[in-house]
Structure formats: C-alpha cells, structure tokens
C-alpha cells in the first residue's frame, strides 16, 4: 500500500492507495486495516486494486484446493507407478504424464466453473498445474525406481510434510519466515501455486522462475527414471 502524504494535517486531501488482491486474503486484510485507520483520522482514501480477483471468490481461497492434486494426487500416482509398473520406466513416465494432464484438467475446470477462483487463460493454467503434478509424480516415481518403495515413501514425505506446508497456496508465500518461503517456492507445489497466481491475476508477471523450477524438477524425475533399477514381477 502506498500513499503520497502521511501528515494528518492534510486530512482533507484524497490519499491514493494500491493493493493487489491476487496476492492473497491476508494481505488484503492488512491493507484494508491500514486504510481504515487512515480514514479514521479524517483522510479520504482512494483504493485501487492492481490485481483483482473474481467476484465469485474475492479472496481466491479456492487456490488452497490445489494442494490435493499437487500433493496427494501426485504422490499417489508416483507410488502406484513404483509398485505396479516395475521394470517399465518409460511406461511409468507415460502414465505420470497422462495422470498430470487429466488431474490438471479437472482442477482447472473446478477452479473456473465451480469455485470461480481463476480468471486467466484456461490453457496456460492447465499447463502450469499439469507440470506441477508431473514434477512431484516423476520425482516420487524416480526415487522409487532407484530405491524401491522406501524411495517413493521418501518422496511422499518430502512432498506432504515439507513442500505442501511451505507452498503458501492458501495465503501466498510472503507470510512465511524468510528462507522457508524461498525454499517453498523452489519446490513443485509452491512454484505451481505462484505460477497459477501469476497467470490468473498478474498477467504472467514473475512467471519465469516457477516455469523454470517445474521444468527442472521434471528433468530430475526423468533422469532418475532413466536409471530405473526395478525388475518386472515374475508371473
């Protein structure tokens, strides 16, 4: 929030202020509180929203729902690929890609049509969420390819207990402690959440890093799958 004057003696003037609702509900509440305090002193505040959300979901709370396909859905698909597709590394990759495309399609449809949260390009948001699901799934399956079920379990623990809490899906990452928020944005779920916010509310501004993060995680997952040590079950 920015103002041109802070002197209460100039209370008769209109104070221009800006906010970006797309950053998350907590920031809007903070800025609204500051605005109300200014108005209580007699200032007239002209609030402008630089990144408005939708009327259906003004606080963009539906973004928190991305945690289900990005965390739990990705982990489940990676675990199933590890257990059911032993010895078929590229079939694992194909199944993970298919699940990612399907899961992202369902997520985008719900966030547009049911919750009305997203307001950007359906195709770009679909791609972003698909990459997020594929990133976690491929790394989970890749760890499973090298270390077996314990490896896939390690991927699941890192995703559910580290990446998901540090993602800032519900509030945005900026309320997290310094360092932890940066780590969260370098993991697939946080990068996907940031990317979807950028595409939907900020016209793609700041999207370069999350695109890169997701592509790097997918590359890591594919490299791990390339060295698959699992053997097909004997019939």
Nearest-10 Cα torsion for 202, 203, 207, 208 = -140
Cross-strand pairs, 17: 47
Encode the chain (235 residues) as per-residue pLDDT tens digits: 333 333 444 344 555 556 566 666 666 666 667 667 777 777 776 667 667 778 898 878 889 899 999 999 999 999 999 999 998 999 999 999 999 999 999 999 999 999 999 989 999 999 999 999 999 999 999 999 999 999 999 999 999 999 999 998 887 787 888 899 999 999 999 999 999 999 998 899 999 999 999 999 999 999 999 999 888 765 5
Q: 3-state SS of 31-97?
A: HHHHHHHHHHCCCEEEEEECCCCCCCCCCCHHHHHHHHHHHHHHHHHHHHHHHHCCCCHHHHHHHHH
User: How many residues are there in the chain?
Assistant: 235
Task: Look at residue 42 in the predicted model and tell me its pLDDT.
Answer: 74
Task: Look at residue 143 in the predicted model and tell me its pLDDT.
Answer: 96
Task: Look at residue 14 in the predicted model and tell me its pLDDT.
Answer: 52
Q: Are 118 and 104 in contact (CB under 8 A)?
A: no
Which residue in the block uniquely carries the two structure tokens 């505040």?
45
Task: Look at residue 38 in the predicted model and tell me its pLDDT.
Answer: 73
CA–CA distance, 159 with 156 (Å, rounded to integer): 5
Q: Phi/psi at 73 (nearest 5 deg)?
A: -65, -45
17 sits in which H/E element = strand 14-19
Task: Look at residue 60 in the predicted model and tell me its pLDDT.
Answer: 82
pTM listed for this prediction: 0.85
Token pair of 106 as six digits: 């369902």
Q: Are 99 and 77 in contact (CB under 8 A)?
A: yes
């Amino acid at each position: 929030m920015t103002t041109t004057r802070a002197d209460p003696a100039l209370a008769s003037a209109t104070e221009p202020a800006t906010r970006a609702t797309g950053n998350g509900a907590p920031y809007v509440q903070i800025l609204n509180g500051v605005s109300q305090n200014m108005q209580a002193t007699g200032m007239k505040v002209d609030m402008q929203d630089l990144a408005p959300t939708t009327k259906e979901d003004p606080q963009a709370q539906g973004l928190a729902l991305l945690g289900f396909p990005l965390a739990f859905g990705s982990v489940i698909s990676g675990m199933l690929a590890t257990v059911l597709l032993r010895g078929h590394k590229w079939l694992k990759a194909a199944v993970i890609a298919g699940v990612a495309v399907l899961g992202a399609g369902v997520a985008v449809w719900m966030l547009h049509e049911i919750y009305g949260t997203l307001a950007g390009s359906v195709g770009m948001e679909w791609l972003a969420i698909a990459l997020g699901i594929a990133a976690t799934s491929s790394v989970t399956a890749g760890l499973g390819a090298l270390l077996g079920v314990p490896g896939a379990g390690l991927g699941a623990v890192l995703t559910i207990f580290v990446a998901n809490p540090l993602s800032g899906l519900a509030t945005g990452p900026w309320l997290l402690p310094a360092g932890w928020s940066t780590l969260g944005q370098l993991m697939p779920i946080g990068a996907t959440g940031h990317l979807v916010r950028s595409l939907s509310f900020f016209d793609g501004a700041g999207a370069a890093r999350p695109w890169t993060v997701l592509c790097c995680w997918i590359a890591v997952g594919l490299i791990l799958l390339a060295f698959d040590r699992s053997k097909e079950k004997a019939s």
